[in-house]
A and B are shown apart, each in its own frame.
Chain A
Amino acid sequence: MTASRLSHLDWLESEAIHIIREAAGERTNLALLFSGGKDSATVLHLARKAFWPEKLPFPLLHVDTGHNFPEVLEFRDAEARRHGEKLIVRQVEDSIVRGTVKLPRPDASRNAAQSVTLLEAIEEFSFDALIGGARRDEEKARAKERIFSHRDEFGAWNPKSQRPELWSLYNARINAGEHMRVFPISNWTERDVWAYIAREGIALPTIYFAHKRDVVRREGLLMPVTALTPPRTGETAERLSVRFRTVGDITGTCPVESEADTVEEIVAETEIAELSERGATRMDDRVNEAAMERRKREGYF
């Protein structure tokens, strides 16, 4: 007797594996965007399942803003080593030295600047497809994105005329100089990702779990106190038990108060969360309602 229907998580997993294999079947020179964050760790796990027992047929790629949490970079390197996968790292700092990235202030967020370095890396290696861990439930511009999303020769997304995407019949054809972005966990929610991490025992950087950290309260968010983000005049640092729900540039990523130090406790907290993942943690999306859409049109992932 066989079950007649897949559970929700099995369905999501199987869809993601299918998408990753289609990307590798339709394009020749791919990379998997791997920051060490939970979504990219999930996608790496799915990619390993897709090609098991072979190694991945493409390298991992990370664009380092130079403002990343050290725990996350250590985890990134350790994971690539542990699985014997090739990791390419490109630095926003190098783009600044080259003059292709100009920051308004030396301490400005480098989040948007990543796009420049990413497009430079795509050109350097002639990548024709990048697999990433973006999800439609994260943000309203991302809710509109195709699973196979076309980028023109400037790396730009044109949300007003996306290709139709029918059934699971992905069209990954491009002209020279263009590339595809492929999002295998498009249909996953934050809850699904945590439930899957728990089920599969996927390793994560320590900062996802509750730890004591100095923070200041700013604009309703908790700002971590670091060398890059010292308290401003009038702010006093507090030492709280916190965890990160998302991991990105230090200058724009905020932890939430939490005592959850196991994946199971995090799953339980996610079930009752009152704020969305990005709403609770991201300074960069607060600039205006279309912040993400504008970044994406410039080549952001």
Chain B
Amino acid sequence: MNALDLQAETTSDAGVLRFITAGSVDDGKSTLIGRLLFDAKGLLRDQVAALSKSRGAKSAQDSELDLALVTDGLESEREQGITIDVAYRYFATPRRTFVIADAPGHEQYTRNMVTAASNAEVAVILIDASRIAGKGLKAQTRRHATIAKLMGLKIIVAINKMDLTGWSRAVYDEIRDGFARVARTLGIEDPIYVPIAAVHGDNVTRPSPHTPWYEGPPLLEILEAIDATRRNDGVVRFPVQRVLRMADGVRAYAGRLESGVVRAGDEVLAMPSGQQAVVQSIRTFDGALKSAIAGQSISIVLDRDLDLGRGDTLTSLEARAAKGLVADLCWLDEQPWEKGRRYLLKQGTRTTQALIDGIVFVREMTELSEVGEAAGLKLNDVASVRIKMRDPVLADLYGERPATGAFVLIDPVSNQTAAAGMIREAA
């Protein structure tokens, strides 16, 4: 594969869109996915048969297909009729390939929603119109909107079960305005709204005859058209995964280019040491490349020997490192944060010790206010914190460079992934 082939292939491929379905329990996430897969012919005959024959309890009165069963894959999920963990499903239309992550709605499984969101570009947040009218949004809807915003996802608000409201435009407007207030508080830009009835397919893959007052396209068309590609500003981030010895004896640094474009002849820095070098060649199993783009797994040969290995990052010349950060955290461990404890921080391929130095605020989920003076962090808390590290890490901001602006905290005793972190400023 060379750069020319790559270009030829990309022109006929709109690229993959990865999206999550989020929202509170019973807002219809799994049913929506079932509907999308069913209508887009993403289900095969035996899988459809399984939907009509399995499980009694929740669907006994419903002789139609139980579309939610498409994604509830675990025994305990089917027993309880809830989604515990993320299920990944794949389908394609003539315009685009999709990866759907069905995220759980229960608060206790929020960490699995965070898992799903971290590898998606778009969040479809479902709201059950039939139960929300006059009552305001649920806390879990606010929590999911908060997390989707923190993680930089584009947001589509699918106002579901519109059939149960008699297709009431007033109800739709009320919910849309309610979400718009949340969006303003959180700084969410231009959410897209669509009124749907997932169980019947209205405005999911085809326009609904019941919503003459809705002028937008159905959800699937929105997903096909949404532009989720990040602007490639050319700034190089290449975390080194491994050092390989090439056939001609030279050392090459193997990794995936996480952002930017790299070309033979480019000047790069080895971070965090800051040593400078020039890219001599880019090599792959399929031959040498003149240049590589973000997302490609490659091996880079430099013009000089540097003491470089796993955990270091090759960057463009503007990069800087820091030993202190301000970051947003989603706390994901049942074990609460313990003041003064050291955690492991993994950014790119680098793991170092880290200490949470102070809590700037914890986000309260009803009014979405910022609560300072918080004493602790517990499961599902969303907070802004100050962190200091033993070794410097790249001071990349998540909003500009998500692949290297993101990190995880790992509890070194339990080995649990304790928190998802997004760098907001270098301190």
Contact = CB atoms under 8 A, between A and B. Distances in A.
Q: Interface extent on A, as a size class?
A: 35 or more
Given A25-B310, A169-B346, A11 B295 contact: yes
A167 B118 contact: yes
B165 interface: no
Interface string A40-53: 00000000111111
Given A163-B417, A169-B406, A279-B44, A50 B297 contact: yes
A221 to B, nearest CB: 11
Interface stretch (B71-79, B192-200, B218-226, B267-275): B71-79
Which DSSP category, helix, strand, loop or mixed, fits chain B's interface?
A: mixed
Nearest to B298: A14
Which DSSP category, helix, strand, loop or mixed, fits chain A's interface?
A: loop
Contacts of B9: 3, 7, 9-10
A140 to B, nearest CB: 3
A3 B115 contact: no
Nearest to A139: B73
Contact of B406 (A11, A13, A141, A166): A166
Interface residues of B, number: 76
A15 to B, nearest CB: 8
A160 interface: yes
A2 B291 contact: yes
Interface stretch (B46-54, B129-137, B352-360): B46-54
Nearest to B113: A164
A223 interface: no
Interface stretch (B59-67, B240-248, B369-377): B240-248
B389 interface: no
B230 to A, nearest CB: 10
Contact of A6 (B295, B403, B415): B295
Contacts, number: 197
B75 A2 contact: no
Contacts of B295: 5-6, 10-11, 14
A3 B420 CA distance: 32
Interface stretch (B20-28, B86-94, B167-175): B86-94
B366 interface: no
Contacts of A168: 119, 256, 403
Interface in A20-59: 21-22, 24-25, 48-54
B1 interface: yes
B427 interface: no
Contact of A50 (B6, B118, B254): B254
A251 interface: no
Given A25-B310, A173-B410, A141 B241 contact: no
A163 B418 CA distance: 9
Contact of A10 (B1, B88, B89, B118): B1
B13 A7 contact: yes
A1 interface: yes
A264 interface: no
Contacts of A165: 115, 118, 417
A273 interface: yes
Interface in B292-324: 293, 295-297, 299, 310
Contacts of A54: 244-245
Interface string A154-177: 000001101111111101011100
B255 A21 contact: yes
Given A141-B74, A275-B45, A8 B97 contact: yes
A276 B46 CA distance: 7
Interface string B123-150: 0000000000000000000000000000
Interface of A: 1-11, 13-14, 17-18, 21-22, 24-25, 48-54, 136-137, 139-144, 159-160, 162-169, 171, 173-175, 186-187, 189, 273-276, 279-280, 289-290, 293-294
10 contacts: A2-B261, A5-B295, A22-B349, A141-B73, A159-B76, A166-B406, A187-B90, A279-B45, A279-B47, A293-B74
- Shortest beta-carbon contacts, A-B, top 5: A140-B73, A279-B46, A17-B297, A7-B9, A49-B285
Given A6-B6, A18-B241, A164-B112, 11 more contacts: A2-B3, A2-B261, A3-B293, A7-B9, A7-B10, A10-B295, A52-B284, A137-B90, A163-B417, A164-B420, A187-B90
